[in-house]
Chain A
Amino acid sequence: MSAPTGITRATLLKDLRLEWRSKDAINSMLFFSLLVVVVFSFSFDPSAEESRAIAGGLVWVAFLFAAVVALNQTWAREIRNQVLDAYRVSPAPANALCVAKTLGNFILVSILETLMTPLFIVFYRLRSIGPAWQLLVVVALGTWALVVNGTFFAAMSLRTRSREIMLPLLLFPISIPAILAMVQATTAILGGEGARFWIVLLGTYDLVFTTVCLLLFETVLNAE
């Protein structure tokens, strides 16, 4: 089925191109991410030994904030001129749109994380005792978990009042197991312990929720 992947690719490229052109959204998100790291550093004293122990959790809470900011603008361009109507009347499958938006958010949030991570490492003098490549796996799986649910809930929030508060309100409770896994895995790896259980849990979570979000996206898009 090359048509849906073609549409996914076209949608993703269009979104990236538009993001690159305006740069408004990404610039403010980058600055917000920086602010979050700085505020955390003031709130959780990096020099204190305890802060180093919870650094894994701090990093992920910061990533979560950045992700919510990114997710809230997922459909901003589509809402402006009711573009989703054009999508719905076309033969294009809703899944293709869902995958494209999720990938776009994944890239966007990854960029934000790439900015925030060196800052955390520097401020908190983080060193990983465990293998660093495992950390990359955890970050990838964790980010995907946030983004796949977040994109879905962003589409759901389109039909609600107080759209921007609905997104985190729906996203956070369901993400709790994933967040616990991300934080525990990160802390374990930083401390040189095994994180296999958490990585497997995250992987399974990603699989299950990606599948369900893809299955239900068309229903949510066409709800009226």
Chain B
Amino acid sequence: MTDAAPVISVSNLIKQFGRFAALRGVTAEFPGGKLYAVLGDNGAGKTTLLRTMAGLNRPSSGTVTILGAVKFHDICQQVGYMAHPSLLYDEMSGMENLAYFAQLYGITGATSRARCADVIRTVGLNPDLARPIGQYSQGMRQRMSLARALLNDPKILLLDEPFSNVDLHSANEMVKLLARTRDQGKTIFVVTHQAALLEGVADEFIWMEFGKIVARTREFKAPESTGESRR
């Protein structure tokens, strides 16, 4: 069921913020149907890479091709994005939040209600909970945020620090969900500092340092510092 053709390919991607180069020439291909964990220190460029793939940052030079498209907007229906801030409204309940974001993807009416409830249940939460999500625990909020990313049944999921400040139980539940999602043929990118959670689950670990990919391993084992990043 694994797609042999790369669903995302990145070619000589450079991103500069003023004098600081966050991405210094990233070139890679990512075949579909896998779960990729992107790791590295702060400032290594993981979030920048993900945001560039999500069309939120325009590269200074280089290209990103997702599902054959160079402009993110062409395939945005098939990508789900999630980041550490919840990207949801604290004052609304889970269902209300998802019902609104479903509208943005063209899902309305009774289909919307069914889909939202479905997706909320998938992440292990109760769709009938009327509490505003501002009152949720961090774990619940991250799961609801993941539910929002899954609303449009995307082929690709881009997740930035999904386990941040999340209790272990919620985090493990999310990991299991991601594994199931990957088994359904979706491609998932997870940027995280807690990569140990993905040990044994992720298909590939992508190690970044100073704005470049320095290694791609199948096991969760930090590569020797090759000095390659200095170049």
Contact = CB atoms under 8 A, between A and B. Distances in A.
A, B in one complex: yes
Interface of A: 3, 6-7, 10-11, 14, 17-18, 21-22, 77, 80-83, 85-92, 224
A87 B55 contact: no
B81 A6 contact: no
B91 A21 contact: yes
Nearest to A86: B87
Interface of B is mostly: loop
A10 B97 CA distance: 11
Given A10-B103, A77-B89, A81-B90, A86 B148 contact: yes
A11 B102 CA distance: 12
B91 A18 contact: yes
Given A14-B100, A89-B54, A90-B104, 5 more contacts: A86-B87, A86-B101, A89-B56, A91-B105, A91-B106
A6 B101 CA distance: 12
A41 to B, nearest CB: 36
5 contacts: A14-B89, A14-B96, A81-B85, A88-B55, A92-B105
Interface of B: 54-58, 72-73, 76-77, 79, 81, 83, 85-92, 96, 100-101, 103-106, 108, 148
A77 B134 CA distance: 12
B87 A82 contact: yes
Contacts of B87: 81-83, 85-86
Contacts, number: 71
Nearest to A97: B104
B85 A18 contact: no
A83 B85 CA distance: 8
A224 B16 CA distance: 11
Contact of B103 (A7, A18, A88): A7
Contacts of A92: 103-105
Nearest to A87: B104
A82 B85 contact: yes
A181 B96 CA distance: 42
A77 B72 CA distance: 26
Contacts of B58: 224
Q: Which of B77, B79, B101 has the most CB atoms of chain A within a 10 A radius of its CB? A: B101
Contacts of B81: 85-86, 89
A157 B66 CA distance: 32
A17 B90 CA distance: 13
Contact of A91 (B56, B77, B100): B77
A81 to B, nearest CB: 5
Contacts of A17: 92
Interface centre among B81, B88, B100 (most CB of A within 10 A): B100
B90 A80 contact: yes
A91 B91 contact: no
A77 B104 CA distance: 17
Nearest to A80: B90
A89 B91 contact: no
> Considering residues B87, B96, B104, which has the most beta carbons from chain A within 10 angstroms of its beta carbon?
B104
Contact of B89 (A6, A18, A88): A18
A90 B100 CA distance: 12
Nearest to B92: A18
Contacts of A91: 73, 76-77, 104-106
Given A10-B100, A224-B57, A22 B91 contact: yes
A6 B112 CA distance: 13
B209 to A, nearest CB: 24
A136 to B, nearest CB: 33
Contacts of A11: 100
A18 B105 CA distance: 21
Nearest to B108: A6
Contacts of B90: 77, 80-81
Nearest to B158: A89
A85 B160 CA distance: 12
A154 B214 CA distance: 42
Nearest to A8: B103
Given A86-B148, A91-B106, A224-B58, A77 B91 contact: yes
Contacts of A86: 81, 87-88, 101, 104, 148
